[in-house]
């Protein structure tokens, strides 16, 4: 069975976005709710990775990741690579050297045609221009789509569906 897993951004308001994705993409979509939304504090990467690996199980999956969810995707990708069908990144939150090294290490071995990145032209965390340069340094074949917004919102549900077809 092919299901889609949504890995939202860090803040609690991203929960609404994640459930909007589920609403638009259908019943085979699973939303990961970060533990820190309930308990406070920071992202517990080790705990979240274990939760995602358990959720994936033996299934084939698509991943839609926004902001910090992109970081979590990079952390789990090597562990479930054979089970990942396609990945959508939205709102890459940083173009730091550390993040680039991690992305380059992990994304270089994954087929670029199975990854797409949507970045708003003026996302306050990183602009489309910055992210396009960043992603192309990680893997020059990854497609980075410019979107017209000037915020960190990614309501591109039809685009998500089209990529998964």
* Fold annotation for 2-164: Rossmann fold (3.40.50)
Q: How far is CA 113 from CA 4, 85, 143, in A?
A: 17, 10, 8
Where does residue 67 rank: exposed (0-12), middle (13-18), buried (19+ CB within 10 A)? buried
Q: How far apart are CA 57 and CA 1, in angstroms?
A: 11
pLDDT at residue 120, as a whole number: 96
| Residues near 129 by beta carbon (within 8 Å), at least 6 away in sequence | none
pLDDT tens for the chain, 165 residues: list them: 689 999 999 888 889 999 999 999 988 999 998 887 888 888 888 889 999 999 998 889 999 999 999 999 999 999 998 999 999 999 999 888 888 888 888 888 889 999 999 999 999 999 999 999 999 988 999 999 999 999 999 999 999 999 998
pLDDT at residue 132, as a whole number: 94
pLDDT at residue 119, as a whole number: 96
- Nearest CA among 114, 128, 119 for reference residue 153: 119
Q: How far apart are CA 116 and CA 86, in angstroms?
A: 8
């Amino acid at each position: 069975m092919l299901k889609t897993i949504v890995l939202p951004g860090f803040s609690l308001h991203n929960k609404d976005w994640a459930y909007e994705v589920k609403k638009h993409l259908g019943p085979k979509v699973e939303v990961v709710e970060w533990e820190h939304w309930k308990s406070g504090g920071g992202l517990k990467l080790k705990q979240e990775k274990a939760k995602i690996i358990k959720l994936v199980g033996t299934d084939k999956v698509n991943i839609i990741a926004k902001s910090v969810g992109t970081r979590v995707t990079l952390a789990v990708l090597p562990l479930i690579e054979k089970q990942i069908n396609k990945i959508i990144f939205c709102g890459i939150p940083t173009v730091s050297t550390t993040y680039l090294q991690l992305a380059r290490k992990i994304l270089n071995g994954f087929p670029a045609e199975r990854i797409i990145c949507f970045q708003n032209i003026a996302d306050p965390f990183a602009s489309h221009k910055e992210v396009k340069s960043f992603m192309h340094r990680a893997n020059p074949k990854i497609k980075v789509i410019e979107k017209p917004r000037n915020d960190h919102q990614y309501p591109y549900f039809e685009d998500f569906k089209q990529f998964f077809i």
